[in-house]
Amino acid sequence: MSKESIMKQVGLEKVTVNMGVGQGGEELEKAVTILTQITGAKPLKTLSKIRQPTWGIREGLPIGAKVTLRKKKAADFLKKALQAKENRLSAKSFDRSGNFGFGIREYIELPGAKYDPALGIRGLDVLVTLARPGYRIKRRKLRKQKVPLRHRILKEDAIRFAREKLGVDVQ
């Protein structure tokens, strides 16, 4: 039985937690407070990229918040988020490039999250980015290159990673 190359091992690169509000002001501040409480990191406000007059949205208006977690914080938060989903995901949650995402209807479903009546109930999205060693070539400053097809993470690789490393039941 041959061992898998170190360069072929799939690993967790980052976890992005997103909360879309659709408007600025007090609602956005509540979302920022919730994200700070559940992740322990400072959120970044996301801006609208398009104009939608029927909803009162114009370009550049803050309409959501997100937090990017890496390394140990990302792994710890991902375990809690998967517990909220009862360690079950659909195969549709995985994309062709090996990333996956899922939504949580209410932040209080996360283990250890306390309900605060002043903040209300909000849902959030959890997006997981996977990478292999060597993926740096697509982000480095000098001599950027595409990751070769034989080295990319496929949907099957991501599902295998979720089953083996995270203990997720993928249906």
Q: How long, in residues, is the chain? A: 171
pTM: predicted TM-score of the whole model, two decimal places: 0.84
Separate counts of helices (H) and strands (E) for the chain: 3, 7
Domain boundaries, the chain: 6-170
110 Cβ neighbours under 8 A, 6+ residues apart:
38, 80, 81, 83, 84, 104
The per-residue pLDDT for range 123-142, each reduced to its tens digit, is: 899 999 999 998 888 999 99
165 pLDDT more than 70: yes
CATH architecture of the domain formed by 6-170: 2-Layer Sandwich (3.30)
The pLDDT value recorded for residue 2 is: 54
The per-residue pLDDT for range 80-121, each reduced to its tens digit, is: 999 888 888 888 989 998 899 999 998 888 888 888 888 888
DSSP class of 151: G
